[in-house]
Amino acid sequence: MEFTGRISRLFEARRGVSVRTGQPWKALPFVFEFFEQEEDRYSSFVKLETFNTDIMAKIAPFIAKGEDGKAIIKEGCMELTKNVEVKCNFRLNISLYNGRVYNEVVLREMEVLTEADEEPTATAAEQKQGDSFADLQPAEAEEELPF
């Protein structure tokens, strides 16, 4: 299924190390809001997650930053400076385990349609340090990166 909609909320990134390969990974969960049909009055919501670091880097310019240049995180989710329009291709997966049924929404592809603003969001000193998605830190916790 392919829908065009917007990212309305970003959650703190999850990270870990693969048991099978030993390689580190990170995932960015977000809420995707879309209309199933053009004439729908009410939007639908689904929580999706991407492991694609290229997509994470495209979303990074839309994350609101505090005066200190760190990502603003309130109630476990990052604020966006504006909603990010995206095209998501996802599928529904149902699995059985120990007699129980589990639903899963799997993100296959995502394309960011919103363009970043032309005006710079960081000072020259911050740009020299690199304003990458992995460098953003939550304002409340100094010791751990959200990505």
**Which of 133, 128, 95, 140 shows the shortest CA–CA distance to 112?**
133
**SS3 state of residue 45:** strand
Confidence of residue 133 (pLDDT cuts 50, 70, 90): very low
How much of the chain exceeds pLDDT 90, in percent?
A: 13
Task: Kindly give the pairing relationship between strand 77-78 and strand 73-74.
Answer: antiparallel
Q: Which of 81, 82, 80, 67 is nearest to 139 (CA)?
A: 67
Q: Tens digit of pLDDT for each residue in 96-122?
A: 999 999 988 888 888 888 886 644 444
Domains of the chain, earliest start first: 2-135 (2.40.50)
Residue 134 clears pLDDT 80, i.e. is over it? no
Number of helical H runs and strand E runs in the chain: 2, 8
On the question of pLDDT at 36 being above 60, the answer is yes
**For the ranges 69-78, 85-94, 107-116, 127-136, which has the lowest average pLDDT?**
127-136
Please tell me the pTM assigned to this model: 0.68
For residue 83, what pLDDT is reported?
81
Q: What is the mean pLDDT of residues 24-52?
A: 85
Interacting residues of 69 by C-beta distance below 8 A, sequence separation 6+: 122, 123, 126, 131
- Whether the CB-CB separation of 137 and 64 falls below 8 Å is answered with no
